[in-house]
Amino acid sequence: MTHPSTPRVTLPATAHESAIELPVIGQGTWYMGEGLAPHRDEVRALQQGLELGMTVIDTAEMYADGGAEEVVGEALAGRRTQAFLVSKVYPWNAGRQSAIEACERSLSRLGTDHLDLYLLHWPGSIPLEETLEAFERLREQGKIRRFGVSNFDVDELDALHALPGGGDCAVNQVLYHLGSRGIETALRPWARRHDLPLMAYCPLAQAGQLRHDLFGHPVVRELADGLGITPAQLLLAWVTRPVEGRRDVIAIPKAVQPAHVEDNAAALAIRLDDEIVARLDDAFPAPRGKVPLDIV
């Protein structure tokens, strides 16, 4: 279970839901259900993560064509109330009626009657008004509690907030890790001004595959060794660090091996001092100006 001192991010209250606090590290499921690891190991990993306090579980209809949702559904059988469950809809399924049908398919695969959070996976050609209408109908039907978006940059967020009900958007899920800091120049400041938490996908740069120099970088290795932690734990602690005294990012790393799940959960207890953060800033500086949103 989550310890009371576990660092948390607050999802603000909406017109229909009270504010809720969530641990800053959850569990991702991208590439689950694809046969890359035994099905039983993926199920067990998610259950282990729940027991260790990583109660946010993120998935999507895109992942393994619904296969990841099936893994999550099996993992949550008999323990649905322990998880804050997030899934995502394809942009081309985000229409007035198609979003409702897509959500119902996801619920069926997940073996549950509701999602705690339903995200538009990335901006598409279907008008946002239609998607918001569908999300509101799903909320009225009790099939989702909150809605959010993913891979939205500042312009798209401005457009969303200009629409009726757009201000109830609960989360923007974006790529964010030490080697990809573009959101810090414009997107994160926008989100903080509007009290919009972020979810960081690929917080470990897909185990370093997106940035081959991350895990082996001498500064990362030196700092991790000095703290007695792994480079991955250092990177998770950095992504979820408080900025100006406030935490506003939930990281959702994927793990299957029991040791990796344990390491991710243990990162909840790691606090980085200003000197360590400054060393990492020097080694991997944020861009000076706005850059295109990094997407995988």
List active site positions.
63
DSSP character at residue 13: P
Please enumerate in sequence order all residues whose Cβ is within 8 A of that of 265, keeping only pairs 6 or more positions apart, or say none.
25, 49, 52, 53, 54
Q: Which residues contact 127 (CB under 8 A, 6 or more apart)?
A: none
Output the six-digit token pair for 80.
Answer: 């649905």
Going by C-alpha positions, the residue among 250, 241, 251 that lies closest to residue 277 is 241
CB within 8 Å of 263: residues ≥ 6 apart: 230, 232, 233, 255
DSSP bridge partners of 173: 150, 199
